[in-house]
Structure 1
Amino acid sequence: MNYWLFKTEPDTFGIDDLYSRPNQTEPWDGVRNYQARNFLRDEVVVGDEVFIYHSSCKVVGIAGIATVVKAGYPDETQFDPESNYFDPKANRSNPRWFRVDVKFKQRFTKVLPLKTIKALPQITQLGLVKKGHRLSIMPVPENEWQCLCNLAESN
């Protein structure tokens, strides 16, 4: 199993939206960064766990956990001219963008703030703590995942 952090803006879609969906499952679509796309297409697999990270909001940080229930497949929004994520260069025989499906697992009582995460001496590899790292999808080392889960649950 691998561990990931997926960023989202809670005004658009957040942990509460995932919790309230029928079956609590949703495609994670609209990713338009090639490195993040490569993670979705090639590395994120069924059973992986994901931190849902809220950005561009009052309390920026980790809000909960989801589980990957469907591995990478073409993101249909790239083919829809009415979608904000439409890509005129994409085609069905060679899709450019991929998504995975995630299922709600846990909502933290309080968001684990970025400020707190950055202050932890044991968090050194997570992209969030590295200067200039802005990916919307990033791997989380297992030891750092466990540390953040423990802190969030005691928060």
Structure 2
Amino acid sequence: MLGSLMAIAGCGTMKSTPKTSAAITIQATDTINPSSTGLSSPVLLRIFTLKTATAFLQHDFGAIFGGNAEALGDDLVSKREYLIQPGATIKYEESLPPDVTVIGIVAGFRSIDTAQWRAQLPVKTNGVNHISVKIDDINVTASLERFKSNRMLPSLW
């Protein structure tokens, strides 16, 4: 009898810990990173997973983009880099460690002084963050398109 009660009690427990991940879609228009004559060219995009956005928001382009991002210090968890061609779309998904709270994006435009070169987005935990990164002209933006929770409800059986 006691064994049966323990078996029933065990059925109501969670089977695994929910994971946090980011499914990122990067979309570039045909008119990115234009030259002085209007000719589009590729842009180097860096995507950072961060513990906090503090250092990311405090530093200028050169401090974050150059020198392998030492300016981000202990906030930096990981970094990905892509050379984005005009009109390109890139998709990827990655698991995020529990200490990641922010995704930071930096685009290396040729006219950095007038560009919107930085974007950041908070990470929601215990699910998939479907993130859209858009590159147009000399602007990079990021938005959370959708969040799909991985929270598991206790099983009754």
Bigger fraction of residues in helix: 1
Q: TM-score, normalised by structure 1?
A: 0.25
Bigger fraction of residues in strand: 2
Q: TM-score, normalised by structure 2?
A: 0.24
